[in-house]
Structure 1
Amino acid sequence: MKSAFLRLALGAMLSVPAFAQQHSEQNHDKYIWPKDEQVKQKLQNWQDIKFGLLMHWGTYSEWGVVESWSLCPEDEGWCERKGPHAANWYDYKKAYENLQTTFNPTKFNPERWADAAKQAGMKYVIFTTKHHDGFCMFDTKQTDYKITDKKTPFSANPRSNVTKEILGAFRQQGFMVGTYFSKPDWHTEQYWWPYFPPKDRNVSYDPKKYPDNWKKFSDFTYNQIEELMTGYGKVDILWLDGGWVRPASTIDSTISWQRTIPYSQDINMARIAGMARQHQPGLLVVDRTVSGEFENYVTPEQQIPDHYMPIPWETCMTMGNSWSYIPKENFKSARKLVQTLVDVVAKNGNLLLNVAPGPDGEWHEEAYQRMQEIGKWIATNGESVYGTKPLAPYRQGQWAFTTTGKATYASYLSAESEKQLPASVSLTIPTLPSKAKVTLLGSSQPLKLTKSQNGLTVSIPEKVRQQLAGQPVWVFKITG
């Protein structure tokens, strides 16, 4: 029953792009709860904080193109090459990798990001230390394809090791901090070996036939992750992307994109996780889409499950349309973003919201505006989000339900045309205290209750309706 339910929970997603579906087709009945007490405690803490920031940032921001994927020789929309070098893949890759010599984000100011994220109510951050293109946003010793190399103009800046600066700035504001790291690396010859030019996102040779090459790549990956786990202070989350790098035994042939993986690509996750937790006790490891002991929480991408899910999960979603910086971004409204957070939390998830810095090291000003707008709602209604548990029926029509055990919260998600609450609403909650008291967050006035067949009818005075007009979500607090 449980496994069928979990498959259904992610099987009935909203319509999403094919690439995003890579992270929604997964069968979550294979989820394994951690046994390590420190990991269990950190996972519980992470589930309580609900709201985080993801940042995709690299040299690709100079061109305003999709992160890494234009390098990938696949005939898919997200891989499309554009510009003067598009006709020839070799020329394009050379020009793309030459962006290292012009990348100079002189407006880099992670403290401003951390302040804005804190004001928005975010409580953890995941930063892309390396995407699939292999360009390292940290001072690795394993390659010179990095922001701190002398070929990169920004290397002369005292804050050139941007990963260290970002994690430090957010840690100072009390955030849990995490490192995004791509398992595939399309720059190193141990993954895309020039002797066999790549045909797709996968390793370009058979690791079984060329084990020495694969061992070099596995060691390279291990060493880079060890650098991140030892030189960057306390790290809470290791967030691994590129789920096609996985052992053959974990490939699920019922999932369309996994059927296209041609080789076993086993980088020995037990060795990596063991090392990482030796340096960072209690570390959460998120080996995305590779079900099992190294996927401490699952990560549906750009969509929300349409059911409550009883396992730890996180929707990762863009604030605009793109993961990476584009000059003219189409940002979601604050109403949409707040309602997304409320929807996710009511189904037992966290929301990881992506904002992409530009080539100058700054966000779009509109991103800061959205943070302020979200923060304004959080300042009044945050108690219905943080440290809560979902409460059946979880989501019903315009309602979302959470509880702290001492108080129950019924959140009313406004329709686009609704500027004010209705004069009366019906609350359908299975367990209501016999002497229930209902207030609206943002107003101290107790509301008049009338018992009805389906629960309670709550009357809302006109003064309160006007006082709280224009909210993306109105939250009723029920105590007894």
Structure 2
Amino acid sequence: MKKYIVLLLLLGIARMTQAQQHAEQDHSRYVPPTDEQVKAKLSHWQDVKFGLLMHWGTYSQWGIVESWSLCPEDEGWCERRGPHAHNWYEYKKNYEALQTTFNPTRFAPEKWAEAAKGAGMKYVVFTTKHHDGFCMFDTKQTDYKITGAKSPFADNPRSNVTKEILAAFRDKGLFMTGTYFSKPDWNVDSYWWPYFPPKDRNSSYDPKKYPDMWKKFQDFTYNQIEELMTGYGSVDILWLDGGWVRPYNTIDPAISWQKSIPYEQDIDMARIAKMARSHQPGLLVVDRTVTGEFENYVTPEQQIPDQYMPIPWESCMTMGSSWSYVPKENFKSAHQLVHTLVDIVAKGGNLLLNIAPGPDGEWHNEAYDRLREVGVWMDRNGESIYETRPLAPYRQGKWAFTQKGKTRYATYLAEAGETLPTRLKPDGLSLPEKARVMLLGPEKKCPVKNGFIEVSAKTAQAVGSSYAYVFRIEE
């Protein structure tokens, strides 16, 4: 009987998780932009397909989850460790003191940009500030920043790391640039007001009861975003996180974490977006999970939608198992990363892949290795990824489909170690006998017979082992 009850509980949790994923992938309420410059930039963003996200801050020194150990919630990702784990006030004091020892002397963003370019990435989003409030840019609104008086890296000529990173990637000529910015800020008194110690991730007070304090926080947020939009060169994407900071009428009760938001936390996105676009015309604004005119594309996290979505979207996922730096990371294989990218693009999305720098300002060596391996595949097969649009049936069996004009691409997702079969039938895609089929890589013609692609032994040998095999189809 107990086993039966446990099974029912597990099934219930699975159904709840599935329901929440479906709610987060719901595209029926998407509001397309009307600004012509925004529409043009969004179309270009949909062409580039593959981007780099980086979570980096003082937390990398402890090798812990970004920000969340400060949050007084009983959740696994908020778990505190160390000598002050059982005293939240002492823990927060010691966490914030990491500012005094954060000194990433190996910081060299050109190396990251070169590696990302080699992998075929074409845009970058950098965490200028996470929920803990530590600023990785030279803000004038707080001294809790990498350029602050308490920070040993402040004397380094490259201390304004956001500016250095965006410039390094921009200099490669291919990159769109984006600024991740956390709407909640757990360091400032106007959000976590010490008069009301925080109980959870939300503002520690009801903004409607204390409007002057909330207005102070709104202005703080506005001013920081304006700094990013005016002092850091051209910016293509404002990527906003912390979706519980939102108007109350936007809460979706079908999503468990939104249902727990206690009150209105509206930071006036209309005002922010208007200001930001006055400085950066055509700026894409991504107010994550807050459906409406300020979520120009949606961002399922650590998941790939079950099927094609006819709106602009991006899966943000980690290369390893953590968003933030951990000393021993469990990196995904290049095989898995390529399959992930192909799957996402076939369903109409982009992949934003996270790599976390360490406290010294360097990536794990394995991260460079993975990017090189992915880059080899992209060099041969990138035309089936970039500037393409999904082609029905999108994803079926071991196949993924894209198109560019009248040219179709059928990608066979091989199992690890699988060699190219000599006879293949793309599931759900009809192939006329007259179709001209070319295997990318060796650029070898493959005849079509009775709806099957025939691959000669010589051609199979020429292409060698691959994570996925791409056929260009023209008629």
Determine if the TM-score, normalized by the shorter chain, exceeds 0.5.
yes
Q: Are positions 1:365 and 2:360 aligned together?
A: no
Partner of 2:464: 469
- Whether contact under 8 Å (1:103, 1:153) holds in the other structure is yes
Measure how far apart 1:427 and its partner are. 2.7
Shift in CA distance, 271/23, structure 1 to aligned 2, threshold 3 Å: farther
Q: Distance in 2 between matches of 1:431 and 1:45?
A: 30
- 1:18-71 alpha-carbon deviations (Å, 9 max, x no partner): 7x9689636431100000000000000000000000000000000000000000
Q: Which residue of 1 aligns with 2:108?
A: 109
SS, match of residue 422 in structure 1: coil
CA shift in 2, pair 1:428/1:252, >3 Å: closer
* 1:172-228 C-alpha deviation (Å, 9 max, x unpaired): 112000000000000000000001000000000010110010000000000000000
Change (3 A) 1:307 1:136: same
Q: In 1, are the aligned partners of 2:58 and 2:98 still within 8 Å (CA)?
A: yes
3-state SS of paired residue (2:46): helix
Report what 2:336 is aligned to.
336
2:402–2:410 contact (8 Å) kept in structure 1: yes
Aligned-residue Cα RMSD (Å) equals 1.7
- More displaced, 292-301 or 246-255? 246-255
1-structure distance, mates of 2:363, 2:20: 27
Quick one: distance in 1 between partners of 2:345 and 2:208?
44
- Map 1:269-348 onto structure 2 (within 5 A): 269-348=269-348
Q: Distance in 2 between matches of 1:321 and 1:15?
A: 21
The equivalent residue for 1:151 is 150
Instruction: Encode CA deviations 1:123-164: one digit per residue, 9 max, x unaligned.
Output: 000000000000000000000000001210000100000000
Deviation at 1:416, TM superposition (A): 2.5
Rounded to whole Å, the distance in 2 between the matches of 1:431 and 1:391 is 12
Question: In 2, distance between residues paired with 1:67 and 1:340?
Answer: 24
| Corresponding position of 1:6 | none
Note the residue ranges of structure 2 that are not aligned, 5 or more in a row.
Answer: 1-12
Structure 1 residue 444: Cα displacement? 2.6
Q: Tell me, yes or no, if the aligned pair for 1:318 and 1:354 is still in contact at 8 Å.
A: yes
Contact 1:23–1:300 (Cα < 8 Å) also in 2: no
> Under a length normalisation based on structure 1, what TM-score does the superposition of the two structures give?
0.94
- Write the mapping of 1:205-284 to structure 2, written as runs, cut at 5 A: 205-284=205-284
Q: Partners in 2 of 1:132 and 1:108 — Cα distance? A: 23
Moved more, 180-189 or 465-474: 465-474
Equivalent residue for 2:453, pick from 443, 449, 458:
458
Change (3 A) 1:17 1:303: farther
Other-structure match for 2:90 = 91
Q: Is 1:478 aligned with 2:473?
A: yes
The 1:44/1:15 distance shift into structure 2, 3 A limit, reads: farther
Shift of residue 357, structure 1, vs aligned partner: 0.1
2:314–2:352 contact (8 Å) kept in structure 1: yes
The aligned residue for residue 426 of structure 1 is 425
Q: Percentage identity across aligned positions?
A: 72
Q: Higher mean Cα deviation, 401-410 or 312-321?
A: 401-410
Q: SS in structure 2 opposite 1:306?
A: coil
CA deviation vs aligned residue, 1:335-358 (integer Å, no higher than 9, x gap): 000000000000000000000000
CA distance in 2, matches of 1:444, 1:354: 32
Q: Tell me the distance in 2 between the aligned counterparts of 1:229 and 1:24.
A: 32
| Code of the aligned partner of 1:122 | M
Say if 2:192 is the partner of 1:197. Answer: no
Q: Which letter maps to 1:243?
A: G
Amino acid corresponding to residue 135 of structure 1 in structure 2:
F
Contact 1:23 1:289 in 2 (8 A): no
Compared CA separation, residues 393 and 435, structure 1 to 2 (3 A): same
Separation of aligned partners in 1, 2:444 and 2:284: 43
Instruction: Provide, for residues 406-431 of structure 1, a one-character-per-residue CA deviation record: whole Å limited to 9, x for no partner.
Output: 3110000011251x111211134556
Match of 2:377 in 1: 377
Task: Tell me which residue corresponds to 1:69.
Answer: 68
Relative to structure 1, the CA distance from residue 416 to residue 24 in structure 2 (aligned partners, 3 Å threshold; closer, same or farther) is farther
Q: CA–CA distance in 1 between the matches of 2:193 and 2:395?
A: 50
Distance between the aligned counterparts of 2:225 and 2:431, measured in 1? 50
Q: Alpha carbons of 1:21 and 1:119: their partners in 2 closer, same or farther (altered >3 Å)? A: farther
Superposed CA offset, 1:286-324 (max 9, x none): 000000000000000001001000000000000000000
**What displacement does 1:462 show?**
1.3
3-state SS of paired residue (1:285): strand
Q: Is the 8 A contact 1:24 1:301 kept in 2?
A: no
CA contact (8 A) 1:22 1:257 kept: no
C-alpha separation between the residues in 2 aligned to 1:116 and 1:34? 33
The 1:22/1:65 distance shift into structure 2, 3 A limit, reads farther
2:124: which partner in 1?
125
Distance 1:280 1:21 in 2: 34
> Within 2, Cα distance between the matches of 1:83 and 1:193?
26
Paired position in structure 2 for 1:28: 27
Per the TM alignment, residue 16 of structure 1 is displaced from its structure 2 partner at its CA by: 12
The change in CA–CA distance for 1:17 and 1:368 in structure 2 (over 3 A counts) is farther
Q: Which blocks of at least 5 consecutive residues in structure 1 are unaligned? A: 1-13
**Letter of the structure 2 residue corresponding to residue 123 of structure 1:** K
Residue 24 of structure 1 contacts residue 300 of structure 1 at CA under 8 Å; is this kept in 2?
Answer: no
2-structure distance, mates of 1:35, 1:253: 28
TM-score (norm 2): 0.95
Correspondence for 1:40: 39
Question: Residues 258-309 of structure 1: CA distance to partner in whole angstroms, max 9, x if unpaired?
Answer: 1100010000000000000000000000000000000000000001001000
Between the aligned partners of 1:123 and 1:417, the Cα distance in structure 2 is 29
Counterparts of 1:45-56 in structure 2, within 5 Å, are 45-56=44-55
Q: What is the CA-CA distance between 1:254 and the residue it aligns to?
A: 2.2
Secondary structure at 2:337 match in 1:
helix
The residue number in structure 1 matching 2:398 is 398
